[in-house]
Chain A
């Protein structure tokens, strides 16, 4: 029996979407490769300093596209995810600005940090 050609639909596209959630699948990994590679470089203190010294040059060196550059400039996590960013690598980017996970959660949900913390605490009930 001849093999059927596989659909190019990715797994996440073929399953019902989970609201507010972007699984980091092959499509995201391809789209975000350069952005994530730049964020991965922020494991190094020297690279973090270099980024802060000249952000535009640093983004240029990693070959970010215009959408990714705008997302970096805006510091908006939802835009960074839409541009292919992965949560674990983006956390290193956020770390440069001293943002913790609750800051990032508040930003993405449109809450103040105290509101976001209250939402977390409420999950214990």
Chain B
């Protein structure tokens, strides 16, 4: 069976792509953000996952409002990035892992999740930037299974439902007949709001509680409705759903997790950025 080695989570912001492209990682504005990554890269070098399952939210690159799936699982041989309209450089294509994609699709659907399957799927900065941040040099060494969760159009899936999806995906990974090592990523958050008179809203207190809960009480955030989460974390802070899915996945076959490294920095762009790496207990 495959081995689920751990979980990663990071914020995604288009401007990060520009900063990487321009080599600004050591500038005063960017350094507190980028400095969180080297300890995690060293850990990744040791555990060397072959595949990552990444929970992220599309921002209007692959999906438009004509068809808006709640949970969409990529099942492609290859995933292309493309122009998102913001002038950030397009990254090279990423390798898919269709065997695991279909194993997840089959297994998770048996557990009553209704998925959309995508044999073609453009992946936006929310999928590509975490990969570039965790594996900055050369070609991305891992193949991917992207799982897109709708945060564009309400109603959004509840935190409870997203956590349960993560648990089901984790169980699917654990039952995949493969010698490969798998990691999961949650991409999004933490608190931020881009739109409306409340733009610029950040809630450090909530973010820190949420980060702590992922270690001590992973289902803590599932008590909140989407409305609560928007109120407490901002319109786009609700992307913390991706972190919850990641954390849910780690519960499969592992009673506890160990924190490898974390970071929290305000602000990049309009966002409170979070970063976390969790190792599953053997």
Contact = CB atoms under 8 A, between A and B. Distances in A.
- Decide whether A and B assemble into one complex: yes
B193 A44 contact: no
A35 B15 CA distance: 25
A55 to B, nearest CB: 16
A21 B193 contact: yes
Nearest to A43: B85
A29 B196 CA distance: 16
Given A43-B60, A81-B196, A119-B200, A101 B155 contact: no
Contact of B235 (A21, A40, A44, A119): A21
B269 A109 contact: no
A106 to B, nearest CB: 8
Contacts of A25: 153-155
B126 to A, nearest CB: 10
A78 B15 CA distance: 22
A120 interface: yes
B230 A101 contact: no
B230 A23 contact: yes
B59 A20 contact: no
Interface size class of A (residues with CB under 8 A): 35 or more
Interface in B54-85: 59-61, 64-66, 82-85
B270 A87 contact: no
Dominant SS among interface residues on chain A: helix
Contacts of A95: 85-87
A103 B201 CA distance: 15
Interface in A20-36: 20-26, 29, 33, 36
B198 interface: yes
Interface in B181-233: 193-204, 227, 230-231
Interface of B: 13, 15, 59-61, 64-66, 82-87, 152-155, 193-204, 227, 230-231, 235-236, 265-267, 269-270, 272
Given A12-B227, A24-B153, A40-B64, 18 more contacts: A18-B230, A18-B231, A21-B196, A37-B64, A37-B65, A40-B65, A42-B85, A43-B61, A43-B83, A43-B85, A45-B83, A95-B86, A100-B15, A105-B194, A108-B197, A109-B200, A120-B267, A121-B266
22 contacts: A11-B227, A18-B227, A20-B199, A21-B193, A21-B198, A25-B154, A26-B154, A37-B64, A43-B83, A78-B196, A81-B195, A81-B196, A88-B60, A88-B152, A89-B60, A92-B60, A92-B85, A95-B85, A104-B194, A108-B199, A109-B199, A120-B267
